A = this chain, B = another copy of it.
Amino acid sequence: MRRSIATVCLSGSLAGKMDAAAAAGFDGLEIFEPDLVSSETSPEEIRARADRLGLSLDLYQPFRDFEGVREAELLDNLRRAEARFAVMRRLGIDTVLVCSNVGTATVDSDEVSAAQLRRLGDLADGFGIRVAFEALAWGRYIDDYRRAWRVVERADHPAVGVCLDSFHILSRGHDPAAIEDIPGEKIFFVQLADAPYLSMDVLSWSRHHRLFPGEGDFDLPDFVRRVMSAGYRGPLSLEVFNDTFRQTDTARTATHALRSLVWLEDQASKSLTGTGLQQLPALEPPSDLDFVEIKAENTDAVEEVLGQLGLTFLGQHRTKPVRLWASGQARVVLNEQHARDLEPHVAAIGVQVSEPYDVEARARALAVAGVVRRAAAGEQRLAGFSAPGGLEVFLGENSYGDEPAWVQEFQHGQPPALRAGRQSDANVTGVDHVNLVHTWDDQDEAVLFYTSVLGLTATPATEVASPHGLVRSRVMRTAAGRIRLPLNVAPAVSTAYPEHVAFSCGDIFGVAAGARVRGMRFLPVPNNYYDDLVARFHLDQATVDRLREYQLLYDRDEHGTFLHFYTRRIGRMFFEIVQRSDDYDGYGAANAHVRLAAQARLEP
């Protein structure tokens, strides 16, 4: 399928948008009229530039407020259309998007609208132009694609067809099944946008909160399957009005946009054959986390805390200044290479998949930037990719709970001297989640990355209050929860909101006791919190006293309970220890404000 994008999706000048779309790999463009009007590039030059870039100009949009009007206005509107058609001829564009009338319609009649579109079709024919009529979700009378199709059918003009826009159809909850009743050749254009389900007026929703496919709540694979089943073979084109993407770098957003279309084609191609939709190598979500890498110029402070938490030093890498700590399935790689001036932070994660080569090929097809790390002879080479926000993601083979082969590369070096402490049977068993920080302008991109490349799924957005503003969060995870990546957007004023790695365990009191004996400094929890626990959960005083003794936080829901505690901050990160009981599946969100307030007091 040809892939197109509306210029309104991207920031910058029209010429810059064209260059970025071509560089990202799009086949065609929709020209958004205001982008043309404000451009100093003439229609002829735009056409020539598109030719040079190998881009087709697929659609001119939008032409507004045409039908459903009285005769005098219709004549005005036809004159308006004629002037646009002349510009389209200069651009070499043969399809115009005509939106259902929002502002000036006074006649609510299929017959009148059809007759007026027929006259527009006659005029368009003279210019070699086709009219794609679209029902806007907030059209005055025509606000449903099924009615737009009825009107087009009645217009019965070869130059008049419909444009189907997933937002206008799915935002209204209209059943897309009737798309398959429209003859494919009468679907002149298909526009695609995702969006989160929001209860707000549909116009504001549409103008500000559309997302690229894979980032919102709409079932776009189903939508695309239906237009393909109807016989449509024209471009699949993105039209995404979004306050954020209007501000982000043009080239980056174009690549991000293309990735969403490639993913969507792959998803839609399932159970459809012979449609020309491109398929990606098959995807199986990761079975487990392979490792977490923490990078810093000096990782001593991290080592100290890992030791206090009961992890074991397994060795230094044989060729690099990289050290490995582990406990159970938790493997933490501490990397001092190329880390000058860097404070400790989560630099990479490794995930285990059954077919690393397939995932690598898939990531490449999705235009994800690879990461190259030198591997000496005899060392395992892990394919790696750069995720939005800068985290590196490496692909390892399934080790089915055994030690991964690369661990053998860590056999050197001396363990650090730790304060002697009672050995404990209570140990960290794995990594429960890795809490990542994103900026307001790359969280959506990250959602698409983890969805399309790794097959993780996104939970709905939630938010918690910090002393300096709301923190918004979406969790990317596998179904079984072996990989959980909360993506957090910190308030604008927080320049150093920390990330964290949460370890799981089966006996959190034991782990906490061991850590205390080994001198760990816990994040202190206020007494007021424990007083409140008594009221909130009817816990008995002895239980609460025990929680207080170890500075543990507590949460409970209908599925189970959750116990957790935090270390102090180390550079740009910290650690959490969690213990889940029964089927508790959250992250203690009710306690997050307590943690954030404590951090703000100690580590402002």
Known: A38-B529, A200-B200, A247-B492. A538 touches B13 (CB 8 A): no
Binary contact readout A18-54 vs B (1 if CB under 8 angstroms, 0 otherwise): 0000000000000001101111111100000000000
Q: Interface-forming stretch among A299-307, A344-352, A462-470?
A: A462-470
Instruction: Fill in one digit per residue for A473-495: 1 if any B CB lies within 8 Å of its CB, else 0.
Output: 00000000000000000011100
Cβ-defined contact, A469 with B535, below 8 A: no
Determine if A123 is an interface residue (Cβ-Cβ < 8 Å). Answer: no
Q: How far is the CA of A529 from the CA of B34 in the complex (A)?
A: 9
Q: Which residues of B contact A200 (CB under 8 A)?
A: 198-201, 204
- CB atoms of A491 and B597 under 8 A apart: no
Q: Which B residues are in CB contact (< 8 Å) with A330?
A: none
Is A177 interfacial (CB-CB < 8 Å)?
A: no
Answer whether A36 and B80 are a contact pair too, CB < 8 Å, given A12-B467, A247-B468, A247-B493. Answer: no
* A119 on interface, CB distance cutoff 8 Å: no
| Interface hits, A164-207 → B, CB 8 Å | 198-201, 204
Q: Which of chain B's residues have a CB closer than 8 A to the CB of A601?
A: 13, 40
| Complex Cα gap A12–B200 (Å) | 31
- Cβ B528 vs Cβ A246 within 8 A: no
Determine the distance from Cα of A43 to Cα of B531 in the docked complex, in whole angstroms: 10
Partner of A38, one of B87, B243, B246, B528: B528
- A55 → B minimal CB distance (Å): 19
Residue of B nearest to A491 (CB): B247
Answer whether A40 and B531 are a contact pair too, CB < 8 Å, given A79-B538, A199-B201, A465-B246. no
Question: Within the complex, what minimum Cβ distance (angstroms) separates A433 from chain B?
Answer: 22
- Residue A211 at the chain B interface, CB threshold 8 Å: no
Q: With a CB–CB cut-off of 8 A, which chain B residues contact A593?
A: 34, 37-38
Number of interface residues of A (CB under 8 A): 55
Interface: A532 (CB within 8 A): yes
- Given the interface pairs A535-B84, A600-B13, the reply to whether A39 lies near B528 with Cβ below 8 Å is yes
Residues on the B chain within 8 Å of A440, using CB: 492
Is A282 in the interface zone, CB < 8 Å from B? no
Which residues of B sit under 8 angstroms from A598, Cβ to Cβ? 38, 40
- Given A76-B538, A83-B534: A42 touches B528 (CB 8 Å cut-off): yes
Does A515 sit within 8 A of B, measured CB to CB? no
A201 neighbours in B (Cβ, 8 Å): 199-200
Given contacts A467-B12, A538-B76, contact A37 B529 (CB under 8 A): yes
Set of chain B residues within 8 Å of A465, measured between Cβ atoms: 34, 246
Check if A526 is an interface residue, CB within 8 A of chain B. Answer: yes
Q: Which residues of B contact A470 (CB under 8 A)?
A: 243, 246
Verify if A11 is at the interface (C-beta below 8 Å from B). yes
Contacts A39-B526, A199-B204 known; A467 to B13 CB distance under 8 Å?
A: yes
Q: A80-B535, A536-B80 are in contact. Are A38 and B491 (CB under 8 A)?
A: no
Q: Assess whether A532 is in contact with B37, with CB atoms less than 8 Å apart.
A: yes
Which single residue of chain B is at the shortest CB-CB distance from A43?
A: B528
Complex-state Cα separation, A11 to B43, whole angstroms: 52
Q: In the complex, what residue of chain B is closest to A14 when comparing beta carbons?
A: B597
- Given A34-B465, A37-B529, A243-B470, 5 other A-B contacts at CB below 8 A? A37-B526, A37-B528, A40-B601, A246-B465, A246-B470
Top 3 A-B residue pairs of the complex, sorted by shortest distance between their CB atoms = A83-B535, A200-B200, A38-B597
What residues of chain A have their CB less than 8 Å away from a CB belonging to chain B?
11-13, 33-34, 36-43, 76, 79-80, 83-84, 87, 198-201, 204, 243, 246-247, 440-441, 465, 467-470, 491-493, 524, 526-529, 531-532, 534-536, 538, 593-594, 596-598, 600-601
